[in-house]
Amino acid sequence: MNNPEEFRYHERIIANPKFYKDTYWGLHRGSPSPDVLSARSLFMVDMKSSRDKLIKEYEYLSSYRSEFGLDHIEYYTGKDNKKYQVCSQHPNSLKLTSQQMETEGWKKILPMYAMEQDTYVRIYDREREQIRKKIRDLLPDLATYRRLYHSAAHLPVNEWKPGYWGTKIRRKLMKIESKINEFERKLGYAYSQIALAYLVNDRIRRECGLAK
């Protein structure tokens, strides 16, 4: 270890192996820049250690890895005993805007992976992630019933007779939209707009009228 920065980096891991367990910088012991080392040290002030990812938490964030561009996802326990999530990615790979990241609960902090990659942290909120998951699960049905309603609307609504099949479709669509609105009131923002804007499933985007 002739490189003094590399030596200092290894010394930190040796001194606190629990904190670095299963982290990118714990598994890839290269020589980060002094600024990155400083950011990690600052981060450690409020963190107790790294932690195992929860199954539901992992499933949720993994589904976003390719859709939103979240990368280098890490999991920590703070000294306040709250669970934290961290992600770092090159700005050009992140599909969400800074405002959307903030809306999703992420806060930008000093880069902890590489200086050219933005790092974000947020508290793991199981209830809010479950609400977002429920909205995402409704989006395929939203797309289907919007498509069917569009087909039914070839006949003007004021000409719909009792028993017309479009009436049932409209009721179902309104019920789905009502559920999504209810969930979004709990979240405090229109999550479905963010999710639909970046869904990999082009058919859903197209049927919801959001195709490019």
Per-residue pLDDT of 128-138, as tens digits, reads 989 998 998 99
pLDDT of residue 9: 61
Per-residue pLDDT of 154-188, as tens digits, reads 888 888 888 899 999 999 999 999 999 999 999 99
Which amino acid is it at 199? L
Query: In sequence order, what are the beta bridge partners of 77?
Result: 49, 83
Q: In whole numbers, what is the pLDDT of the chain averaged over residues?
A: 83
- What's residue 200's pLDDT? 46
Report which secondary-structure segment, H or E, holds 140. helix 126-152
Residues whose CB is less than 8 angstroms from the CB of residue 115 and which lie 6 or more positions away in sequence, other chains included: 33, 35, 36
Q: Does the structure show a pLDDT above 50 at 1?
A: no
* pLDDT at position 86: 93
pTM: 0.77
Structure confidence at residue 212 (pLDDT) = 46
Q: How far apart are CA 66 and CA 147, in angstroms?
A: 26
Token code pair at residue 88:
């770092």
* 36-61 confidence digits (pLDDT tens): 888 888 998 999 988 988 888 888 78
Helix (H) or strand (E) holding 84: strand 83-89
Are the C-beta atoms of residues 72 and 89 closer than 8 Å to each other?
A: yes
Helix (H, G, I), strand (E, B) or coil at 31: coil
Token output for 34:
């002094």
Q: Of 63, 67, 72, which Cα lies nearest the Cα of 111?
A: 72
Better-scored residue on pLDDT, 212 or 176: 176
The total of other beta-carbon atoms located within 10 Å of residue 134's CB is: 15
